[in-house]
Amino acid sequence: MEIETQTPKLQEYRRMLVELIFSEGNHVCAVCVANENCELQNIAIEVGMDHSRFAYRFPERGMDLSHKQFGIDHNRCILCTRCVRVCDEIEGAHVWDVGSRGADCFIVSGLNQPWGEVDTCTSCGKCVDACPTGAIFRKGATVAEMKRDRSKLEFLVNARENKQWTR
């Protein structure tokens, strides 16, 4: 069997999917803390997207700045659920979850309460490192300071899978 993964048709589908993600949220790269340090932006460049052919939804989404060190801007969230998984599976705090259904889905902290009021949050910063966009960010950080150290997460995942601490 021959499997092709880089045909022009597939590339066109990939570009279309990225355009749909951009038009679904409010991704204004020029004023984002993660500008030039964003996986979504990198993928858009990789698939050759220079604009979206779909109408922007301009959804009304808020921000939560109640945590002392971090903030979440739902406008930039692409619902990848990395924050949910890293906080649950690596940190064991399970602060995040996905609320609602369909196009109304959004990331919730605790029991849909302000992040700063969720007392299981250890302020470890793993969700900040895992977030591919600028949705979860460190307060007061410049774009350069937003550079994430993914090797820290990789180390933790590998150590956990290899039972490094429990042997």
Range 121-160, binding ligand SF4 (CB under 6 A):
121-127, 130-133, 135-136
Closest CA to 38 of 123, 158, 137: 137
Q: Indicate whether 75 belongs to the interface with ligand SF4 (CB under 6 A).
A: no
Q: Does 110 bind ligand SF4 (CB under 6 A)?
A: no
Q: What share of the chain is helix, strand, coil (3-state, %, to 5)?
A: 40, 10, 50
From the CB of 45, what's the least distance to ligand SF4, in Å?
Answer: 18
Q: CB of residue 58 vs ligand SF4: minimum separation in angstroms?
A: 18
**By CB under 6 A, which span of 8-16, 29-37, 73-81, 153-161 interacts with ligand SF4?**
73-81
Q: Nearer to ligand SF4 by C-beta: 3 or 103?
A: 103
The beta strand positions in the chain, using DSSP E, are 63-64, 70-73, 96-99, 106-109, 136-138
Determine the Cα–Cα distance for residues 112 and 151; give it in Å rounded to an integer.
31
38 scored as a contact of ligand SF4 (CB under 6 A): no
Q: What is the dihedral of CA 139, 99, 154, 115, to 10 degrees?
A: 30
DSSP 114: -
**Cβ proximity to ligand SF4, 16 vs 124, nearer residue:** 124
Interacting residue ranges for ligand SF4, rule: CB under 6 A: 72, 77-83, 86-87, 91, 93, 95, 107, 121-127, 130-133, 135-136
